[in-house]
Amino acid sequence: MHTSSLKDFDSDIYQSIKKEQQRQEEGLEMIPSENFVSPAVLEALGSVLTNKYSEGYPGKRYYGGCEFIDEVETLAIDRAKQLFGAEHVNVQPLSGAPANVAVYFALLKPGDTVLGMDLSHGGHLTHGHPVTYMAKIYNFVRYKTNAEGLIDLDNLRQMALEHKPKIILVGYSAYSREIEYEKIKAIADEVGAITMADIAHIAGLIAGGQMNNPVPIFDIVTTTTHKTLRGPRGGMIMCKEKFAKDIDKSVFPGFQGGPHENNIAAKAIAFKEALEPEFKEYTKQIKKNIKVLEEELRKRDYKLCFGGSDNHLLLIDVTPKGVSGKEAQIALDKAGITVNKNMIPDDPRSPMDPSGIRLGTPAITTRGMKEEEMKMIATWIDEAIANHGDDAKLAGIKQQVAELTKKFPLYPTLK
């Protein structure tokens, strides 16, 4: 076994990691699905737990030597239950998409109908987009937002009555408004559907008490553990006790093999962090920051989809500014501001060169940035888009960004 350091053994990978660390430290990370984990979470991810196979669940493993692994996974489960008020929790899904797929396999038969949100209106690929394999197995019907940018509950009810779905699914990757879970539950009860919420983006805001919590209301809730929850990249399923056995069997052995216990330990740490009072203040600041960005960009005549934001993100149609979403993303990258190109509702352009960009405040809020910094950032975003073809101007903005980020060090102990 090699005992030398990463730097000494594999300088190529070491240098790539150091360059990525520098990019994160010197730039503004504004992709709303990204965040910065704590040093404790990083430590768990690189721990000896990565060496252990542990198929099964605590107390019911197929391999020996899992007594300490059981302690770790049980802590993760108990903390998640406390954080969200869940009856049952499975922390083994490797990410958000596998969590959703495991739910479908647990509850549906081929050909069953799922009523989910249209991708261009803020939904996720795994909510039934035709390019996914799930869309070949199950019948996905997709609802949209109305002219005001809100989920049209009357239309959703009519679609539910017409299609009689087995599952009504809510949740999103680019939608920026609150969801009325009780009203959707009432529609599901009317047609005998199972309720499912995908809170991957907003789990941290829910844990911090800043958004409605569907866990006590809905049958099934899936989430990632990164994004606003600020944990490691991974997934989780929470459900009512009546679905627990089917969900667990679907995750393992139905869909996955050995769980990644180093990742589960990191999840447990993130849940503990989210139970601290400081996390609530953090999530409050995420929302304060997005509202300042919304106000500043509105002043500059940006076209904000869905009428604004109730959470951590904004979806912006940049075509009135004379650029596509791809061009805006490239320009902002050159300016040291990372966003992602994104479809807007009923986008006439292609997914690889759409009309919009998606940006958010979780990561820059983690660094300690507040309202005054948001005003500066809005100015730079506007200047970068206005000067998207001027590399010298974009380089100048990048230098200003780097000066700002020096005041908000990311990992000062990791050098």
383 pLDDT above the threshold of 90:
yes
Cα–Cα distance, 115 to 169 (Å, whole number): 6
Catalytic residue among 145, 195, 223, 224: 224
Domains contained in the chain, CATH given: 43-274 (3.40.640.10), 281-405 (3.90.1150.10)
**For residue range 247-286, what is the model confidence (pLDDT) as tens digits?**
999 999 999 999 999 999 999 999 999 999 999 999 999 9
Annotate 192-230 with b (16+ C-beta within 10 A) or e (fewer).
ebbbbbbbbbbbbbbbbebbbbbbeebbbbbbbbbbbbb
If you average pLDDT over every residue of the chain, what do you get?
Answer: 95
413 pLDDT above the threshold of 70:
no
- SS3 of residue 61 by DSSP: strand
Query: In which band, very low, low, confident or very high, does the pLDDT at 414 lie, cut at 50, 70 and 90?
Result: low
Catalytic residue among 166, 233, 240, 287: 233
Respond yes or no: is residue 366 known to be catalytic.
no
Cα–Cα distance, 117 to 194 (Å, whole number): 15
Which residues are CB-neighbours of 14 under 8 A, at least 6 positions away?
Answer: 6, 7
Catalytic residue among 34, 55, 333, 390: 55
175 pLDDT above the threshold of 60:
yes
Catalytic residue among 79, 142, 166, 227: 227
Radius of gyration from C-alpha coordinates of the chain: 22
Alpha helix segments (H runs only) across 27-178: 39-45, 67-84, 96-107, 134-137, 153-163
**For residue range 25-65, what is the model confidence (pLDDT) as tens digits?**
999 999 999 999 999 999 999 999 999 999 999 999 999 99
pLDDT at 234: 97
128 pLDDT above the threshold of 80:
no
Respond yes or no: is residue 10 known to be catalytic.
no
pLDDT at 415: 55
359 pLDDT above the threshold of 90:
yes
Cα–Cα distance, 399 to 406 (Å, whole number): 11
124 vs 307, more confident: 307
Residue 168 β-bridge partners? 115, 195
pLDDT at 127: 81
**For residue range 189-220, what is the model confidence (pLDDT) as tens digits?**
999 999 999 999 999 999 999 999 999 999 99
Respond yes or no: is residue 278 known to be catalytic.
no
129 pLDDT above the threshold of 90:
no
2 pLDDT above the threshold of 90:
no
Catalytic residue among 10, 53, 178, 390: 53
Contact 293, 28 (CB under 8 A): no
Respond yes or no: is residue 224 known to be catalytic.
yes
295: its two tokens: 């106000």
Respond yes or no: is residue 55 known to be catalytic.
yes
81 pLDDT above the threshold of 90:
yes
Catalytic residue among 25, 198, 296, 383: 198
pLDDT over 90 percentage in the chain: 89
Respond yes or no: is residue 190 known to be catalytic.
no
